[in-house]
Structure 1
Amino acid sequence: MSKSVAIIGTRGYPSYYGGFETLIRRLGPYLVEAGWDVTVYGRPGAVKTDDPLLDPQVTSVMTKGLETKSLSTLSYGMTSSLSAARRKPDVALIMNVANGYWLPLLRSRGIPTVVNVDGIEWERAKWGTNAKRVFRGGARLTAKYASELVCDSHEIRRRWQRDFGRDGVFIPYGGDAPDRLPVVEGLKSREYVLIVARFVPENTVPEFLQAARELSEKWDVVIVGSSGYGGELDVAAKKLAEQSPRVQWLGHVSNDQKLFSLWQHAGAYFHGHSVGGTNPALVQAMACGAPTIARDTVYNREVLGGAGIFCEPTSTSISHGVLGLMANPDLRDQISQKAIERARSEYSWDDICARYDRSISRLVRTCESKSDLR
């Protein structure tokens, strides 16, 4: 008899919004193959039902919620948790500590929970004071009520040990190693600078946009990303692309093959994320062999190891680092090969999915053993 798992806290299956969604696109079918009955909760309109890679054995359930920047995660998490509490799966896999508020409900129904705590959300500049307070409160409740934690980096794990007295299982994100792809039309291999990021200040987007003015005097610059809600950075990217013929702003790119090609053929990929653990975009960029220059953080150093170079979060430092990398083809090729090898050895999807399978299986067995002793 198969065991059942409910996955809560993503936009659904299959969705291409962000790192959680990328994980579930791989994990859902993997767990089905491993014998699990998998239900993924999502949001109406956020999934691609015509995706050729869709596994029909993964059950997709849509719930209602408030589609606003500050309330969407909480509201969809609540309705998903209420539905899961009624269905009573053997285990729930939950993404994002904001859903910590609903863990007591799941516990009251005897449903063990594994929570991917993601990054340190309450330190993100994009959130106001109230939102940061909500995330911090959710983290406290997660520390208190979650059966097990998943930390996507060793540094995040240390933060939870220090700040909340809870340990967790280390499971990072994975990356796909694509075949050689054609260059995106209008670009030349290794002759453009790339950034892929959600448009929030802690991803060093404002500083990169400023640096792009200087970079575009010599190289093409490709900007992938948006805020998702409109805003000053979207306006700035649009204006920059209109003013400079060598700057392209592509917005959000949901076509994996196009995105993989952009990373694969970039002369330099700038990764400016500063708050979080193992960033999914960085891992995928490595798997594609993108020569990476990253903002100097403990998280980026942990993921890249020696497969990248680092800069400070200023437009001057970004420009200096990117121009130096673009001018050194030998260094660029060396970094690219190291990145591919590191992604293959440390961040393969099969290994990541197997770790999740072991984690939720172990938790179910533990709960069954406790039940048998009663």
Structure 2
Amino acid sequence: MTENEKLDRIAISVHSHRLLRILLRENPMLETIMRESKNEIEAQLGVKNWIHSEYSSRKDAFRFQIDKVTKLENFEKLSWNDYAIIRILDYIDHAGIEYPDRNLRGEIAVSNPIRLIWLAVIKGTGGAKPDFFIDMIQLFRQLRGESNQVIPDRDTIEKWMDRYSSGLDPRIVELRKENKERIINLLIDKINSGEIRDQLYTFPDGLSFSEKQEIVNGWWDHYKFHLRFAIRSPDLLNEMLGHSLDPDTMKILYDAEKAGIPFFVNPYYLSLLHVRVPYFAIGADLAIRHYIVYSRQLVDEFGNIVAWEKEDEVVPGKPNAAGWILPSYNNIHRRYPEVAILIPDSMGRACGGLCSSCQRMFDFQRGNLNFDLEKLKPNE
């Protein structure tokens, strides 16, 4: 049974039915075409002829849609509803093509929106989700000129940015000092108890706690300290964050550890995450937090993540999708025609931590790269 045949049998939900009624009510001609078409081919031809007839004056849109090589000057002539014309016609021209979806581990995806609408109208099937019908409602509103492209101005963007305090806000600076002090105190306790033993990072006998704090503050300014005391486990991460991580998050982190995803969060990076969150700092650390605290999606897909782009598929000695001859994949983070970002096998790397985005790197998934610094010391 083909993918199309499977979709024929999947009923749409009640929510989808309600959205479909809105789509048809707002577009009587679309409903007429769907109901009078005997099959999906007639539905596609009907929509195509309707678009060409109803919007025949939009010559820039039709020219751009059929051009094999697009030009900037032609693109700049397009209006907002021209985009809708082009999108609908592209759907029809590429209807039924099957694509391996790399986000779904190669599962076959079929692009045929007009077919989905026709199946929903005639049979109540097709399996289209509510999000699909919401998208179609907005697309046809755009086609009719009933929606506008809103490009925010500078003032609006700055207002959005001002919703969150920056790292230069004196209040955030104080919060980060508080975080730093908490982390330093925990490290002192671990050194005092013997849980952490290191010939380089030790205290002379007879020092007070405040004197030890002063020493660790001095260590804090050296990169080797942050490499040595980087957080490498979910439990230690939670402890350093004042046991503030919820059980669901800890479950994800434990699963990440079992999946072989390495942890490496240096103390400075950790100090940027807030444990005590006053009203002015709500959400202010989310961008950094999402780099450190792994997501369920990353854990579930780790080991199966493939190239982010077609250009990332590299066969040694052969051009990639963009026509470039690039190095093979070992130790390479990103590849460009004349530049490759490398992470070497040994300790000679610039990163002071491991962000969640880098976990997508192929060599981390294969286990070739890690942050076990003892094993990474050069043998020569």
**TM > 0.5 fold call:** no
Q: Which has the larger radius of gyration?
A: 2
Name the structure where helix makes up a greater proportion of residues: 2
